[in-house]
Amino acid sequence: MPFIYVDQSVRVRLSEKIVEVFNDAGQALAAHSRLHGTGKFSTFDAHYPEHKLSVARFEIRYGKEQAKKLGPNVEKLVEQLLPTEYPLRLLRHA
């Protein structure tokens, strides 16, 4: 769901394969493939504020480059802390 709708009421429709989010007027805000299992999520980059998205892309890339210079154990740890699958989820609490 786009960040501008944070703290607003929305309606969610779940099907076997899709999660759809609507505002109070019934206008579609987002649709995602439904992921099953604990801790699964799906967020489009466009749903983040641009200032957070651009900073996160730079900091993650830089951090991984620095970790690689410090050795394989540090690189492995950073890869675990910032998984390549979707590191932007860490911004949800920022």
Sketch the domain layout of the chain as residue ranges. Answer: 1-46, 48-94
Dig out the tokens for 10 from the structure: 């929305």
Residue 81 has pLDDT above 90, yes or no: no
pLDDT in tens, 50-79: 877 776 666 777 888 889 999 999 999 988
In angstroms, the CA 24 to CA 26 distance is 5
What does the pLDDT read at residue 16?
A: 93
Residue 11 in contact with residue 27, Cβ under 8 Å?
Answer: no
Residue 77 in contact with residue 63, Cβ under 8 Å?
Answer: no
Residue 2 in contact with residue 47, Cβ under 8 Å?
Answer: yes
Please give the single-letter amino acid code of residue 65.
E
**pLDDT-derived band of residue 91, with 50, 70 and 90 as boundaries?**
low
In angstroms, the CA 21 to CA 15 distance is 12
